[in-house]
Amino acid sequence: MKKLFHIFIVIFLFSLQGCSFLDEEPTSLITDANYYKTESDAIAATNAIYDFLSIGTDNLWSEGFGGVFFNDFWVLQELCSDNATTTLSSPDYQQLSDFQFNASNQRFENLWKDMYQVINCCNTVIDRVPECDMDDDKLQHLIAEAHFWRGAMYFELIRLFGDVPYLDKATTSLEDAYPIRSESDGIYTHILADLDFAESNLLTTYREGLGRPQPLTAKALKARILLTRGVTSGDNDDLLEAADLADQVINSGNYFLWDDYADIFKIANAHSGEIILGINFSGTLSQGFKGNQFLVRLLPPGLDLNNEGPTNAHGWEVPTTNLVAAFADHDRRKDVTFISSYTYSDGHTEYFEPHFAKWWDAEAEPRGNESNADYIYIRLAEMYLIKAEALNEANNGPTQHAYDAINTIRERARFDGTNTYNILPDLEGLSYEDFRMAVLDERQREFAIEGHRWYDLTRFNQLTQKVEASDKENATPGANHNLFPIPQRERELNTNLTQNQGY
């Protein structure tokens, strides 16, 4: 099988082979003609979703692509913004940093392909798992996991590409392989229905945690989705519901903010504290650990000396000067997010330009390289900032609850290891626009290199302004960059796909 097959042809073959891809089979999935019979079959089919969210297939691993959240998802969010530049000579990544988006860029094609692979795997679970003989509540739970991830992937697709083809059945014929683009407004309806089903049918005592969604996870993702749609459309009902959902998650008692921001990214704290949902790279859900690429891509190179310092580190994505300057010196998040020196056991210290270090638990993984760290898809701090933003938008100015929400996040950032609270005073007395920009700035500091910034800048309609004000001298953002181009390879093989404006 050729790797350049059109994604929907791939999906057709993928479905017929029970979620196999390019002659490689997710290790959690076994296929035969009589496969969907038992609870074990249903669990294995559902687990295949997580393979494609994280490590991808062996073929993809060998080419460095991996699954949805392996690297490109969060890399693009930072490079296509004022947060980061690239040291790679690869045209694909340089184009992203410089806003010379090209429909033939492999990074866009990979994201499109990976997300549709997950969607087709979800559709296969939804279509075929009901055939299995097992407890009905557990069966509905597995189907609910598939609904959750299908909704999540379609949400990401419409944020990235706008109108996209909507497929709600596993693709089983060539006629299905050439769909047209569906309007994103209609897809939002399907997404929310998926999450409503997930929230109603996910159990809290079966397949609990470890990167799997639970009812509150669905509620948290709905808050993100309704905020996004509400800001775009100006729908106050969406905004107020987003604020209410975020508040329900905050007040559920299931999550808490770590006192020290650094604790969020410690490997021992995975799936706990404020982590609402993380993408499991520890190997718990997948057979055979392959690790993620945070430390390989982000940590500074050249520090591997005498069996000390990070190894296989390349520093391909580096922070802009503007991003570093966005943090006050005593903001705890600054020391956690960046590294600019490394001290060896003999006392010798190497100094260098700031690199990203947020994802490095240096105690657990002192040599860096492929990491056990999970990609954090949703965490509690976002619920506070969603609440703050939504209330400001809905009321054309901040309410006291909006102030309380954002100030909670600022208060945590004052922690410097000695409980000295001497910076980032509480916000008060701001206009609608000033508070709106304060939320955007707080999100930049809170979520740097976590895969939020391009989404935030496009939602706030600040992409051009913020990038032009940064030190990215070669970047030329325009209005068309609020969406990525539909991958050219897809359009060549499916002439029903139109292109986004400006490409």
User: How high is the mean pLDDT in each 10-residue block of the chain (503 residues)?
Assistant: 34 36 36 76 93 71 69 96 96 96 95 94 96 96 98 98 96 73 97 98 89 96 98 97 98 97 96 94 54 92 96 97 95 97 96 98 94 94 98 98 98 74 86 98 98 98 97 95 97 94 96
Q: What is the DSSP letter of 203?
A: -
Q: How far apart are CA 383 and CA 102, in angstroms?
A: 34
C-alpha of 207 from chain center: 22
Spans of all domains in the chain: 1-78+100-206+485-503, 208-448
Q: What values do phi and psi take at 375, rounded to 5?
A: -75, 125
Distances (CA, A) of 196 to 11, 53, 148, 243, 497: 26, 21, 9, 17, 30
Give the other-Cβ count within 10 Å of 468's Cβ.
Answer: 12
Residue 278 forms beta bridges with which residues?
376
Among residues 267, 296, 299, which one has the least CA distance to residue 281?
267
Neighbours of 163 (CB within 10 A): 20
Judge whether 20 and 14 are in contact, CB under 8 Å: yes
Asked if 412 contacts 261 with a C-beta cutoff of 8 angstroms, the reply is yes
Beta bridge partners of 164: 182
SS3 percent helix, strand, coil of the chain, rounded to 5, is 50, 10, 45
**How far is 131 from 38, CA to CA, in rounded Å?**
9
Q: Residue 164: its pLDDT value, please?
A: 98
Among 462, 427, 421, 428, CA closest to 444: 462
pLDDT of residue 130: 96
Pairing of strands 349-356, 338-343: antiparallel
Residue 297 has a pLDDT of: 96
| Full-model pTM | 0.91
CA atoms within 13 A on the CB side of 155: 23
**CATH class of segment(s) 1-78+100-206+485-503:** mainly alpha
At residue 60, the pLDDT reads: 44
Helix axes 39-53, 136-161, angle to 10 degrees: 20
pLDDT for 23 equals 28
Token duo for residue 411: 């208060």
State the distance between the two ends of the chain, measured CA to CA, in whole angstroms.
30
Cα torsion through 377, 382, 383, 385, rounded to 10: -160
**What values do phi and psi take at 144, rounded to 5?**
-65, -35
| Nearest-angstrom CA–CA distance, 202 and 205 | 9
Residue 473, C-beta contacts closer than 8 angstroms, at least 6 positions apart: none
Question: From the CA atom positions of the chain, what is the Rg in Å?
Answer: 22
What type of residue sits at position 436? R
- Calculate ∠ Cα 356-90-86, nearest 5°: 25
DSSP-assigned letter for residue 353? E
DSSP assignment letter at 457: H
For every residue of 235-274, DSSP letters joined together read -HHHHHHHHHHHHHHHTTSS----SSGGGGG-GGGTTSTT
Q: What is the pLDDT of residue 34?
A: 61
- Check for a shared fold between 1-78+100-206+485-503 and 208-448: yes
CATH 3.40.50.1820 fits 208-448, yes or no: no
